[in-house]
Structure 1
Amino acid sequence: MPVNHQLLISQSQYQLNHLQNSRSEKIAVNAICSGWVKTDMGLEQGADTAIWLVTVAPREETVKYWRDRKVISY
């Protein structure tokens, strides 16, 4: 089933607005392109962008669509 990326980003923006209204700390909400599902890559490589977004990426990088630690168009 195809994914509507604009809808996904809009939903991320909605979630961000809702969360920021209920918390004092800055929150980042992003979407990640998982690439191909069937792969020989290890867990570390497959989860790299997700882990990077949670642990290293600046909180200002929010409501974006990511793949391989880079913002991509949707």
Structure 2
Amino acid sequence: MEGCRYQDLIRWGDAATVLAKRGQERPALYKDGRVSWNEQKNASAGFKSGKHELLPFPATEMNVNKNMTQNPGW
């Protein structure tokens, strides 16, 4: 089952632990060709508990069904 790891982590309750550090370090590329993986942080990346367990409903679906409410955090 390729490409299902994200959903597996959500289902198993392991997503917050495994994905919390995803994307926090990114490469710093220098003009002289050096690359460093520890210098720049991407604070907006990572898994947020209470939000990323569910996906947002598309706006088009929300517009069609006025009784529908958006998932928490979205």
Q: TM-score, normalised by structure 2?
A: 0.27
**Structure with more relative contact order (C-alpha pairs < 8 Å, separation 6 or more):** 1
Greater Cα radius of gyration, structure 1 or 2: 2
